[in-house]
Amino acid sequence: MARYRAGESVSVTVEDLAYGGEGVGRAEGYVIFVPGGIPGDRLRVRLTQARPRFARGQVEAVEQSSPHRVEPPCPYFGRCGGCRLQHVDYQAQLAFKEKQVRDCLVRLGGLGEVPLAPIIGAPELYGYRNKMEFTIAEAAGQTVVGLHEAERYDVILDIERCLLQSDLLNAVLGEVRTFIRERGLPVYDPETEEGLLRFLMLREGKRSGEVMVNLVTASPRLAEARALAERLQARFPQVTAVVLNVNPKKASVALGVEEHPVAGRETIREHLGGLEFSISANSFFQTNTLQAERLFELVLEYAALTGTETVLDLYSGTGAISLLLARRCRAVYGIEVMAAPIEDAVRNARANGIANCTFLPGEVRHVLPELIRKGVRAEVVVADPPRAGFHPKALKATLTLAPRRIVYVSCNPSTLARDLGGLVRGGYRLEVVQPLDMFPHTPHIEAVARLERR
């Protein structure tokens, strides 16, 4: 196998996509990862990093273009860290994602022959996101409101129009930027811990048409927030909620330790699966409404409820899955660690006239064993964990509970494979894994798995 050094220029044929969207190729047997490379490309690559078993490089020239390569429509493509696959034909994106799910299940889960269904593509390739989070920063003496540059956490691109959100949200984004610049509001500096503005989060009810503007600041400057709210609501009647979240801590997260309703309601509404949901600023809700509906249909299909079951919904968020399940079973227990989603879930249950849901705050690894000790049993478990997947104690408790059926919703094929492997070894048979593309043009993949106890 050949060895190269950083700084060398080599010709690479890209053979695959790694999880995360990087092209994977070889030069004389030496593995080289190439951001922006597509299977079928032959590229001239300048190596930026060289290690004994692999290297990473930047594209200097496309010597032969892949048949899957297309012209990306976004002017920020290549600089923005978001849509890394815009230059890949959509059908090829789907094929690569399906392959990555299969590879993870076999290689990381040790599952052998995997019952993998063909991936379900998205009906909307642009404008599909109902939530976007922008960072507010200073660049060249000017306030910018945008997204992180690819592979950088210290550089923010000033995004005038993001193709993943609607024209309405792009117009609201532009108005907020103009307001901030006109007022000369100071931007928070994480080094000095001085300044005000940190993040802008926009939410949109795709079915209700309602918009939430959530401004995250380092201190509660309500006068400026009220002035912004008046301006936005005068120009956009769809803005029904303006919220100020205050995060005085150094941690760069768009979550506040205190929340102040500024104008309108504290939540916006969304309609999904025949139910109405209230969504607050800090709650989790699937960010692709149309695909979320398809995802929830799969969950209901795989749960195969008859009306007599007790169901546990682990990592229940705002209760969307819990409430949809509740109409088809005897009782649902939803477990969620965050306080805001629990409040939303209770509110959503009441608004939809659903009385057979109980929402429990806390970590699944602690709450589930306590439920078992109290004698709670469930025939079906539905789980939608974060990217890290199940905590080992939560997985162990699920096996102790021994439900007849498990429906696992995942946003990370690697941890899905790990957890499915553990469940299969713990006495379950994997019936089917169904990938869905919730986020076109990004490397992210959603999947739903159904398991039956042997």
Beta pairing class for 54-64 and 131-139: unpaired
CA atoms in the 13 A half-sphere facing the CB of 448: 23
Catalytic site includes residue 357: no
Beta pairing class for 9-17 and 310-314: unpaired
Q: CA quadruple 244, 249, 254, 257: dihedral positive or negative?
A: negative
Catalytic residue among 74, 83, 104, 411: 411
Q: Which two three-digit tokens encode residue 300? A: 């209901």
Q: How far apart, in Å, are the Cα atoms of 153 and each of 42, 103, 135, 208, 360? A: 30, 30, 11, 34, 36
**Annotated catalytic sites, by residue?**
411
